[in-house]
Amino acid sequence: MQIGKISLHTTKAVQQNAEKNTTASNKLSTNPFGVSFKGNVIQADVFESARKNLNGKNLAERGKLFASAVVSGINSFNEAFKSRMNSVVSFGKKITTNVFDTIERIGNTEISFDMTGLKNKLFPDRQYSIKNLTTKSVDELKTLWSGLAATGAV
């Protein structure tokens, strides 16, 4: 009978051990390395990745995050766009000012051509045409005549 008791105890003990092992294995199912912290087996939830957490959040929260990112992105884009537009606008203003300055300068500039001198250079003989010579004063004609006589021809 004692043998029977012993065997019964043994059987119970074996059963209890088996149950313990089963629960421990269940607890460690998501913690396969059995990492413990202060005597407690660390639960699987601790190892949930940030990505999993993020995935776990509802759509509204994700939307907020995404929206804030978009808003910040839009703000930075706006700032960059504004700064570029400012430079474009300032460049345009500078161009406009320069154009107006140039127009004003042109308006105040007197352009004159010495047509007589130009004609004389292009057509040197025309200077000595009778029509042209009659418009000159006698002193000018004297100078021309003296100049020609001094060259030795006459």
Partner 1 sequence: MMDNNKKIKNIIQALGEHKDSEAAIELLTELGTNSPDDEIRELTAQTLIRKNTHESLRVVLISKGKGINDLSARVAMASINELLALKDKTEAIKILDDTIKMHSEEDVRNTARSVRALMTFSS
Interface residue list for partner 1 (CB under 8 A) = 125, 128-130, 133-134, 136-139, 141-142, 144-146, 148-149, 151, 153-154
Q: Which is nearer to partner 1, 41 or 149 (CB)?
A: 149
**Minimum distance between the CB of residue 150 and partner 1, rounded to whole angstroms?**
10
Q: Which is nearer to partner 1, 32 or 147 (CB)?
A: 147
| Structure tokens, 36 | 């413990």
**Minimum distance between the CB of residue 91 and partner 1, rounded to whole angstroms?**
58
Q: Which is nearer to partner 1, 40 or 137 (CB)?
A: 137
**Minimum distance between the CB of residue 118 and partner 1, rounded to whole angstroms?**
19
Dihedral pair phi/psi, residue 38, rounded to 5°: 50, 45
Q: Which is nearer to partner 1, 77 or 128 (CB)?
A: 128
3-state secondary structure of 8: helix
d(CA 83, CA 115): 53
**Minimum distance between the CB of residue 148 and partner 1, rounded to whole angstroms?**
5
Report the 3 state secondary structure along 29-89.
HHCCCCCEECCEECCHHHHCCHHHHHHHCCHHHHHHHHHHHHHHHHHHHHHHHHHHHHHHH
